[in-house]
Amino acid sequence: MNQNNGMQKRMLIMTLVVFVFFIAYEFLVLKPQQEAKAEKAKQEQAQKQNAAPDVNTAATQMVATDVNGNPVDMSKSVEALSSKAIANNQIVSVIKTAKSIIEIDTLGRVAQVTLLEEKYKDENGNQIKLFESNQLRPLEVRFADTNINTEAFKVSVVASSSNVDASTSAQELVLTQNLGDTVLTKKFTIYPDGHYDLSVSTTNDKQFFITNGFRPNVLADMYAVHGFIAKLNDSTLKTIEDGDLDKNETIVGTKFISNFDRYYATVIYNFEKSLTLSLMPDSSSNPQAFVHGSNNISFSGYIGPKNHRDLESLNPELIDVIDYGWFTFIAKPMFILLQFIQGYVGNWGWTIVILTILIKLVLYPLSYKGMVSMQKLKDLAPKMKEIQTKYKDDKQKQSMHMMELYKKHGANPMGGCLPLLLQIPVFFAIYRVLLNAIELKGAEWIFWIHDLAEMDPYFVLPILMGVTMYLQQKITPNTMQDEMQKKIFQFLPVIFTFFFLWFPAGLTLYWFINNLFTIGQQYYINSVFERKRAEKA
């Protein structure tokens, strides 16, 4: 087979295999690994019970009250059996903001954050809670002095108020922990939007460290990055995914730190005085961050959804908490454009449709060149076959005559692949944007799509995506001679449909609309070439 023609086919196959491998690897390999790690971590943390009492046992032995003060028999409550249940006797203060309820435990840590906005509900219809009961909790303090550290996990804090209503105006809360000769004090200012300012100090110059806690554990799946991210003073970002930290590490000079899952994050930030921190792996090599507090420290914090506008309102630099992976440099401006369009359209589904059309228009010159090149190669296929047969024993002459044929007819054997390869970063960028955009949470589109962040409940969009992919394949010129290659390509719509069954509806909508417009473009190119053939005839 001619070298250039063979290379063209190999690149086309490679391009499509990259897509299939990318999705298959995440679904079949990464997801089982992450689930196994998470389960192992839960078991080990439950066994250790280090600074995290078995709250599930405690919860089943008491009668508690809900957030409205109504009695609840926890021994019979489904909530008590949840891995996110926090025993009532562990809570010293409950803070209510306009968007969340923050519970502070007896050791002065954030035990739980419950999101109050209507769209933040789990699969059972309950308001989303961000943390597991036995994980490393935000704002936990650890002392350099071993004796004081041991004491600090035995002595309860005293709260200035057991209930704080910051839903309409900023409120203060002071937590005091008397550790003999040393007193630890945490002074909070909590704001209605859910963020807080915190000042932590100790007497006797006792050195301490304070953590932003393990990441929220609501949606840590195979599709999105989750772990730790820090923004350094030089504005570079350092990201460590769960399972990737194998040793202790110290980072000097950071503006913010965040541990995050797909949609939610716990953040500590200070843009006036940089933070120094130590990273330590837990039993599953997940990153745990401890900020060096010396004997006093002040910073701000946020625990909640990675909503672009909310983070930007706190500080524009906090937008970097939203991590899009390798293609962040394309994904960020793409999301800004998406949000801009939504501001006018008012519906995220139609916004995705419009964005897809705009992307297709911008990339049309590349697509056009690729399609034209494929048509030319299709027309030359019989002559290429003749040359291959005639010079099958002389590869050098075969290659020379092929190049003459391409030059004579203005064909480029790489022309069909290169435009497609150049579009891959854009495809992956929009993939990451739609995957990580919590703005799609609870966003309806039409009829049966009530949440663009969830899978299509009736699989309509994935099936339509598969059908359009099949139609696109049927009308696209195919110069492949090898039967095995043809069969592989014929199965691609089935393979993609299978994986897209579980993808967020917003992402599937993008691929479906993208396929529709590709079919239109290909049909137009095909008709142009058919006209030219008719004129020549």
Q: What are phi and psi of 127, to 5 degrees?
A: -60, 140
Residue 157's contacts (CB-CB under 8 Å, 6 or more residues apart) are: 92, 104, 106, 107, 108, 175, 176, 177, 184, 186
Per-residue pLDDT averaged across 239-263, rounded? 93
In whole angstroms, what is the distance from residue 399 CA to residue 520 CA?
A: 35
pLDDT at 289: 95
Provide mean pLDDT across the span 102-130: 92
Judge residue 454's burial from the number of C-beta atoms within 10 Å of its C-beta, 0-12 exposed, 13-18 middle, 19 or more buried. Answer: middle
Task: Check if the beta carbon of residue 338 is closer than 8 Å to that of residue 433.
Answer: yes
Give the mean model confidence (pLDDT) for residues 109-113.
Answer: 96
> Is the pLDDT confidence value at 468 over 90?
yes
Tell me: pLDDT of 225 over 50.
yes
The answer to whether residue 348 scores a pLDDT higher than 50 is yes
CB-based contacts of 389-396 (< 8 A; 24+ apart in sequence)? 395/3
Contact by Cβ (8 Å): 257, 228: yes
Of 432, 461, 433, 435, which is closest to residue 446 (Cα–Cα)?
461
What per-residue confidence (pLDDT) applies to 37? 54
Question: What digits encode the pLDDT tens for the residues 507-516?
Answer: 899 999 989 9
CA pair distance 184, 178, nearest whole angstrom: 7
Distance, CA of 47 to chain centre: 30
Name residue 475's amino acid: I
**Among candidate residues 448, 443, 498, the one with its CA nearest the CA of residue 469:** 498
Task: Give the tokens for residue 441.
Answer: 């949470």
Mean pLDDT of 60-87: 47
Above 60 in pLDDT, residue 239? yes
Q: Over the chain, what is the mean pLDDT?
A: 81
- Residue 71, pLDDT score: 44
Q: Is the pLDDT of residue 57 over 60?
A: no
Which band of pLDDT confidence, cut at 50, 70 and 90, is reported for residue 49? very low
pLDDT tens digits for 196-209?
Answer: 999 999 998 899 99
Domains and CATH numbers, the chain: 3-19+332-536 (no CATH), 49-323 (2.70.98.90)
77 confidence band (pLDDT: 50, 70, 90): very low
Reduced 3-state DSSP string for 62-84:
CEEECCCCCEEEHHHCHHHHCCC
Mean pLDDT, to the nearest integer, of 24-46? 52
Cβ-in-10-Å burial (0-12, 13-18, 19+) of 277 comes to buried
Number of separate helices (H) and strands (E) present in the chain: 14, 19
Out of 29-43, 245-259, 381-395, 503-517, pick the least confident: 29-43
SS3 447: coil
Torsion of CA 163, 270, 256, 292, to 10 degrees: -90
Closest CA to 332 of 233, 192, 188, 436: 436
Which residue, among 282, 268, 263, 258, has the nearest Cα to 217 in the 3D structure?
263
Sheet with 163-166: list strands edge to edge. 110-115, 100-105, 91-97, 163-166
pLDDT reported for residue 387 = 79
Alpha helices in 476-504 (DSSP H): 483-500
Stretch (H or E) spanning 480: none
Whole-angstrom distance, CA of residue 291 vs CA of residue 266: 14
DSSP letter (8 states) at residue 88 = G
State the virtual CA torsion across 350, 355, 361, 365 in degrees, nearest 10: -140
β-pairing, 163-166 vs 91-97, is parallel
Q: Which helix (H) or strand (E) holds 329?
A: helix 328-345
Residue 354 has pLDDT above 50, yes or no: yes
How far apart (Å, rounded) are the C-alpha atoms in residues 109 and 228? Answer: 19
Kindly state the percentage of the chain with pLDDT values over 90. 46
Nearest to 107 by CA among 131, 59, 140, 143: 140
Which two tokens mark 177?
Answer: 């922990």
